[in-house]
Amino acid sequence: MPSLRPSLNPRARPASRGQRGFPPTAPIDPLGWSEIEAGVVAGRRIFPPTRRDLSTAAVLLLAGIAWGAALRFAGSLPVDFGFVLFLLQFGLGLVFVIGLVFQLLFRGFNVDRVVIVAVLVLGGGALGLGTGPTVPPAVTVAGTYTFAPTLPAVRASAGALSCEWASGRWRIGLLTTIAPIAGLPTSHTLKANFLTRQVELADGASSTLLALGDAAVAPPPDETTRGPGDRTGAIALDLLQVNLASGSSEVNEVRGTFRWTCPGPPPG
């Protein structure tokens, strides 16, 4: 028998038969702002973790391991691939920091959760740095060279050479004369770095001749260009900015042809 007592809210309408016994439908809120305002997200405890929490933690840990492994691999590359390491360090690092800030601003300032995210990613990164792949290190072998300067009354000289195959063992990275080159006003040691495209001829005292750029490692006229993995080659030296002690033997430049022969890197 229905109650004869009037309703406290005269505007309220009785629920229809199809809706009786069901709670009202919650509004659609994909970003979860209503939960944050109600304190649901901020008030939910971390422990015990849900299945979704464990899945997210596993993904963050694996992402950190992949990041660290990529950093380890990029760090073992030759110096001319240094921009890859810079992008991994600065680029991804900046994205990670921005993500943590967004987590604080838009998820109710849950500092504990942000700390857990940082620990998982950075911990995985540490594991990746210790276990990630690397490119084989550079290998140094002994070679020979001849140097024919264009200075008058100076004969060509020859000697032993230290050949460093670059990381990855696919091309010559650095050539260094073991003993100073004779026949110049002062004995000089030559270093030709094909990775940085720099040639330096110095006597360890007051004389330093330097060349930078593609011209520093360019072959002489009528010579073929040195390619990856070549064990022999020639460089047209054109080194300026000499600062020798004043005297009759003072020169202002050194020009000549430097030819080298190096065996391949040892196998393995």
Q: Check residue 136 and give its pLDDT.
A: 78
CB atoms within 10 A of CB 253: 13
What tokens appear for 162 in the block?
């230290």
CB 160 within 8 A of CB 177: yes
Instruction: Report d(CA 34, CA 38) in Å as an integer.
Output: 6
Across 36-51, average pLDDT: 59
CB atoms within 10 A of CB 154: 16
Instruction: Report d(CA 173, CA 230) in Å as an integer.
Output: 11
* CA angle at 123 for the pair 167 and 109, rounded to the nearest 5°: 130
Q: What is the pTM of this model?
A: 0.53
| 3-class SS letters over 155-182 | CCEEEEEEEEECCCCCCEEEEEECCCEC
**Is the model's pLDDT at 23 over the cut of 80?**
no
DSSP code of residue 255: E
Instruction: Report d(CA 260, CA 143) in Å as an integer.
Output: 7
Instruction: Report d(CA 237, CA 258) in Å as an integer.
Output: 7
Per-residue pLDDT reduced to its tens digit, 9-21: 555 555 555 555 5
23 or 170: whose pLDDT is higher? 170
Instruction: Report d(CA 121, CA 71) in Å as an integer.
Output: 14
Instruction: Report d(CA 158, CA 161) in Å as an integer.
Output: 9
Q: What percent of the chain has pLDDT over 90?
A: 17
Instruction: Report d(CA 51, CA 205) in Å as an integer.
Output: 69
User: Please, what is the average pLDDT of the chain?
Assistant: 76
Phi then psi dihedrals of residue 144, to 5 deg: -130, 165
Largest Cα–Cα distance of the chain, in whole Å? 129
Per-residue pLDDT reduced to its tens digit, 173-196: 889 999 888 766 677 889 998 878
Per-residue pLDDT reduced to its tens digit, 84-139: 888 888 888 898 889 888 888 887 777 888 888 899 999 999 999 999 888 777 88
Q: Check residue 144 and give its pLDDT.
A: 95
Q: Check residue 194 and give its pLDDT.
A: 85
